[in-house]
Amino acid sequence: MTTAVDTARTHRRRTFRNRLHQFDLKGVPYLFVAPFFLLFAVFGLFPMGYTVYASLHEWSTRKPDQTFVGLDNYKFLLFEYERFPWSIVNTLGMFVLATIPQLIVALLVANALNKRLRAQLTWRMLVLAPIVTSVVAVGVVFARIWGQEYGMINGFLGLFGVDNINWQAERWSSWTAIASMVDWRWMGYNALIFLAAMQTIPKQLYEAAAIDGANSRQQFWNITVPQLKPVIIFTTFISTVGGMMLFVEPMMFSSGSFDGGSNGQFQTTSMVLIDLLRTYGNYGMSAAAGWLLFIVIVLLAGLNFLVVNRIQGNK
Amino acid sequence: MSTVLKPPAPAAAPTAPPSRKRPKRRGESGAHVLEPTALTRIGLIAVVVLSIFPLYWMIVIASRTTSAASKFPPVLIPGGNLGQNIERALTDPQANLLLGLQNSFIITGTVTLAVVLISTLAGFAFAKLRFKGSKLLMFGVMATMMVPLQHLGLVPLYLMMVKLDWLDTYQAAILPFLVNGFGIFLMRQYTLQSVPDEIIEAARIDGATTFKIWWRIVLPALRPGMVVLGLLTFMLNWNEFLWPFLVLSSETPTIQLAIRQISVGLYSTDLSMVFTGTLISIIPITILFLIFGRQIVSGIMEGSTKQ
């Protein structure tokens, strides 16, 4: 009798243990990934969805009632508020001006770093050094370098008899100055990413090409660049996302304000978004600007994927 | 000769840091392209000069007086005012630099610790644990890396902080940045590389729970990876501007907000002050960079080839 009870008890204890063990195998993994997804739900997914709601309503500090207005906010931004479409032009312009030279230089630098150099780590760190500065710091220093009266660039151009240029005044000039800040800070980072990819290219390819009499320039264009295709696509994508959200550099270039120069000549879309939010307190409009910016990013990411694919495919 | 230069396969030993570099053997190669030409060296030196110059010039101006910033040809030799300028910048009640530094350390430090913790937990789960929907969830993590969350959800996130009455609080500046898909991605890769399945199986047979396996086996093996992730996260968040700018005010600034404040406000004409403040703001990252340069370089390189 007693033995029967004991067996039952052991059995029960065993099933309890078993269940614990089962939970440990099947349930605990979810606990491990839960913190990320909880935080993502609260601070990522919910705000993103709520942006849709806000963008469809007239909602500002002055009119807090949240009246449904359909797509009016979008229409206003696209067709009536001239600064918005211009901000997309500006952002795209600065993006192209910054990204294309940056990626080309980064490729060349990576190629140089991939050669047999002494003190490899030191070279890599020197190229990467600008990353230690914050974007705000870059803005402070470069605003001086590109200054109209005492800036170094104008001083240098003055040696060739060029009059002082007001770099903030025009689209092309302000874009150039801002692109230089982006390039300076990120070129080394991208070069290291290209370098990492270059080191995975099988050396036999180069040896075979060398036997066939290809010189190093031909090897670079015919082996290195095509082999780097996936990384170039990836880097371009990251640069697109980063470039389309450009904010701090142009803000620091216009002395900390969001208007991007007297005529908004270097006002980016992110600056319009923040301007609508902070200066005008217009939540609905700002949310709509956020969505439009997101759509532009998605379109561009698709486009540059197609373009890079096409260029590389022809090689 | 033809195969020796290939990069090594990912190390399987639990203690092997994934960043370990393979020394290049001199004189061994069929590929003469790897020898740098004079042009390569000159080009590389030019790039390095351009990379370093703005940083160096920042130090020069921070060690002189304001008028030095307006000279052409530019002043290139540091002056003797650095200590005095730093003291003036740090003690100026209006500049708020000390408070900015303190806030930045608290916010960035908390974000870094939390991101590393969350990422090692989830990275281990995605790398080694079998559970339903894990592939789909990992895809979700990757998707969050692609979407500029902080911008798209900016307005509601800001309204949320207003509603919660969290403006000017640490949690407002910290919490949104704990969502870091890249960290999970990176730690998953490190776990795959440095924790062999056999060790986990053996521990399970010995009756270790999942949590114990994570604590006793995975965490020690991931230490190099955690350092890399911690460094990258710290650097990224130390430099964050937009979100703190929205939720914090000039009375509770991060160091970045304080720098913007002095460069556009009261001190916009006092350049030695502005440059000294800017210099102070990059010192913590510079120190990390000098100490952990190897890890930062390899972290960036590793993170990219694993896509």
Amino acid letter, residue A2: T
Per the CB < 8 Å rule, is A36 touching B118? yes
DSSP B200-233: HHHHHHTT--HHHHIIIIIHHHHHHHHHHHHHHH
Mean pLDDT of B177-204: 92
For an interface test with B, the pick among A140, A204, A228, A272 (most B C-beta atoms closer than 10 Å) comes out as A140
User: Chain A contacts of B57, Cβ < 8 Å?
Assistant: 141, 145
Average pLDDT, chain A: 89
B5 touches chain A (CB under 8 A): yes
Task: Give the model confidence (pLDDT) of B119-154 as tens digits.
Answer: 999 999 999 999 999 999 999 898 888 776 666 788
Who among B40, B160, B263 is closest to A140 (CB)?
A: B263
Confidence of residue B31 (pLDDT cuts 50, 70, 90): very low
Q: Cβ distance B64 to B272 under 8 Å? A: yes
Per the CB < 8 Å rule, is A136 touching B24? no
Residue of A13, A4, A32, A196 whose CA lies nearest to B304: A196
Per the CB < 8 Å rule, is B209 touching A24? yes
- For the four alpha carbons of A129, A131, A134 and A140, in that order, the dihedral sign comes to positive
- Quote the percentage of chain A above a pLDDT of 90: 53
pLDDT value for B33? 53
A226 shares its domain with A273:
yes
Per the CB < 8 Å rule, is B47 touching A127? yes
CA distances from A241 to A77, A95, A269, A304, B152 (A): 21, 10, 13, 11, 12
Q: Tokens 């590109």 correspond to what residue? A: A146
pLDDT value for B11? 38
Per the CB < 8 Å rule, is A126 touching B297? no
Task: Give the model confidence (pLDDT) of A194-241 as tens digits.
Answer: 999 999 899 888 888 888 888 888 888 889 988 898 888 888 888 888
Mean pLDDT of B80-109: 91
Supply φ then ψ for residue B36, to 5 degrees. -70, 140
Structure token digits, residue A27: 């349930």
Q: How many domains does chain A have?
A: 2
pLDDT value for B266? 67
Who among B43, B51, B281 is closest to A112 (CB)?
A: B43
- Quote the percentage of chain A above a pLDDT of 70: 96
pTM of the model: 0.86
Who among B3, B130, B264 is closest to A255 (CB)?
A: B264
A222 shares its domain with A292:
yes
A123: CB partners within 8 A, 6+ apart: A113, A117, B44, B48
CA dihedral B38, B40, B46, B50 (to 10 degrees): -160
Mean pLDDT of A153-173: 91
Size of interface A-B (CB pairs under 8 A): 296
A175 shares its domain with A294:
yes
Q: In the structure, how many helices (H) and strands (E) does chain A have?
A: 16, 2
B101/chain A closest Cα distance in angstroms: 13
- How long is chain B? 307
| Burial grade of A287 (CB within 10 A; 0-12, 13-18, 19 or more) | buried
Q: Are strands A67-68 and A57-58 parallel, antiparallel or unpaired?
A: antiparallel
User: Chain A contacts of B35, Cβ < 8 Å?
Assistant: 115-116
Give the Cα separation of A68 and A54 in Å (integer). 9
Minimum Cα–Cα distance from A255: chain B residue? B264
Domain B97-305 has CATH 3.50.50.60: no
In B213-272, the residues whose Cβ lies within 8 Å of chain A are 214, 235, 238-239, 241-242, 246, 256, 259-260, 263-264, 268, 271
A158 shares its domain with A248:
yes
Residue B6 three-state SS = coil
A31 shares its domain with A157:
no
Exposure on the CB side of residue B242, measured as CA atoms within 13 A: 27
Per the CB < 8 Å rule, is A39 touching B154? no
User: Chain B contacts of A129, Cβ < 8 Å?
Assistant: 51-52, 55, 289
A188: CB partners within 8 A, 6+ apart: A106, A109, A127, A128, A129, A130, A131, B51
Minimum Cα–Cα distance from B287: chain A residue? A132
Domain spans of chain B?
32-80, 97-305
Minimum Cα–Cα distance from B28: chain A residue? A116
pLDDT value for A4? 64
Q: Cβ distance B120 to B228 under 8 Å? A: no
Per the CB < 8 Å rule, is A129 touching B52? yes
Per the CB < 8 Å rule, is B305 touching A32? no
Mean pLDDT of A72-84: 95
User: Chain A contacts of B51, Cβ < 8 Å?
Assistant: 126-127, 129-130, 184, 187-188
A205/chain B closest Cα distance in angstroms: 10
Residue A60 three-state SS = strand
**DSSP 8-state secondary structure symbol assigned to residue A67:** E
For an interface test with A, the pick among B47, B60, B108, B266 (most A C-beta atoms closer than 10 Å) comes out as B47
Per the CB < 8 Å rule, is A134 touching B246? no
B15/chain A closest Cα distance in angstroms: 22
pLDDT value for B241? 92
Give the Cα separation of B115 and B226 in Å (integer). 10
A159 shares its domain with A29:
no
User: Chain B contacts of A125, Cβ < 8 Å?
Assistant: 289, 293, 297
User: Chain B contacts of A124, Cβ < 8 Å?
Assistant: 297
Give the Cα separation of B91 and B98 in Å (integer). 8
Q: Taking the CB of residue B196, how many other CB atoms lie within 10 A of it?
A: 16
pLDDT value for A86? 96
pLDDT value for A2? 56
A160 shares its domain with A245:
yes
Task: Give the model confidence (pLDDT) of B250-301 as tens digits.
Answer: 889 999 999 998 888 767 778 888 899 999 999 999 999 999 999 999 888 8
Amino acid letter, residue A310: R
Tell whether A171 is covered by a domain: yes
CA dihedral B11, B14, B19, B21 (to 10 degrees): -50
A1/chain B closest Cα distance in angstroms: 32
Tell whether A206 is covered by a domain: yes
Show the CA angle centred on residue B121, arms to residues B118 and B125, nearest 5°: 135
Q: Cβ distance B136 to B204 under 8 Å? A: no
Tell whether A66 is covered by a domain: no
Give the Cα separation of B59 and B69 in Å (integer). 11
Per the CB < 8 Å rule, is B48 touching A127? yes
Q: At what angle do helices B271-305 and B82-91 cross, to 10 degrees?
A: 90
CA dihedral B168, B170, B176, B178 (to 10 degrees): 170
User: Chain B contacts of A293, Cβ < 8 Å?
Assistant: 151-152
A282: CB partners within 8 A, 6+ apart: A59, A60, A61, A276
Flag whether pLDDT at A26 surpasses 90: no
pLDDT value for B18? 44
pLDDT value for B9? 38
Exposure on the CB side of residue B248, measured as CA atoms within 13 A: 27
Minimum Cα–Cα distance from A34: chain B residue? B122
Mean pLDDT of A18-24: 85
Average pLDDT, chain B: 84
pLDDT value for A314? 53
Residue of B283, B251, B231 whose CA lies nearest to B109: B231
Residues spanned by the domain of A41: 2-55
Flag whether pLDDT at B2 surpasses 70: no
Structure token digits, residue A97: 């001006």
Could you tell me the CATH number of the domain that includes residue A207? 1.10.3720.10
Supply φ then ψ for residue B276, to 5 degrees. -65, -45
Amino acid letter, residue B201: E
A314: CB partners within 8 A, 6+ apart: none
pLDDT value for B3? 33
Confidence of residue A303 (pLDDT cuts 50, 70, 90): confident
ipTM of the complex: 0.86
A96 shares its domain with A160:
yes
